[in-house]
């Protein structure tokens, strides 16, 4: 199996519509979650529209599972952050270059 190019993966950020399709969460709800700070889109001055990278889409998927299991949005967000610790660090390090 070819190794995944993490630097490239980091750049593969999808639109909110795409993220909504992938995660099966309404666009409107994703915007709300972002307003509340539970998720965040890629920050780039060049972008006038939102983009979500692999890490964030994965986070949304995991949050959804926890929420369906009874967790609040807030709690789900925190739990997922902890659980995804390693991947988050990889993505964070890639940003600082």
Partner DNA sequence: TAATAATTGGAGATTAGTTACAAAAGGAGT
Partner DNA sequence: ACTCCTTTTGTAACTAATCTCCAATTATTA
Q: Which residues form the interface with DNA (CB under 7 A)?
A: 15-18, 26-29, 31-33, 36, 41, 47-50, 67, 72-74
For residues 58 and 74, what is the distance between their CA atoms, to the nearest angstrom? 16
Structure tokens at 34: 């972002």
- From the list a second copy, DNA, none, which binds 65 (C-beta under 5 to 8 Å, kind-based)? none
Q: Which of 67, 48, 51 is nearest to 10 (CA)?
A: 51
Are 80 and 88 contacting, i.e. CB atoms less than 8 angstroms apart? no
Rg (CA), the chain: 13
- From the list DNA, a second copy, none, which binds 26 (C-beta under 5 to 8 Å, kind-based)? DNA
Q: Does 61 bind a second copy (CB under 8 A)?
A: yes
**Binding interface with a second copy (CB under 8 A):** 1-2, 4-5, 8-9, 11-15, 18, 21-22, 46, 51, 54, 57-58, 61, 84, 86-87, 90
């Amino acid at each position: 199996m070819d190794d995944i190019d993490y630097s490239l993966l980091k750049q593969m950020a999808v639109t909110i519509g795409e993220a909504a399709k992938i995660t099966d969460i309404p666009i409107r709800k994703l915007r709300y979650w972002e307003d509340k700070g539970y998720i965040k889109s890629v920050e780039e001055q060049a972008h006038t529209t939102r983009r979500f990278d692999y890490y964030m889409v994965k986070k949304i998927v995991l949050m959804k599972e926890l929420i369906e299991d009874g967790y609040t949005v807030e709690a789900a967000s925190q739990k997922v952050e902890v659980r995804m610790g390693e991947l988050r660090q990889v993505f964070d390090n890639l940003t600082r270059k």
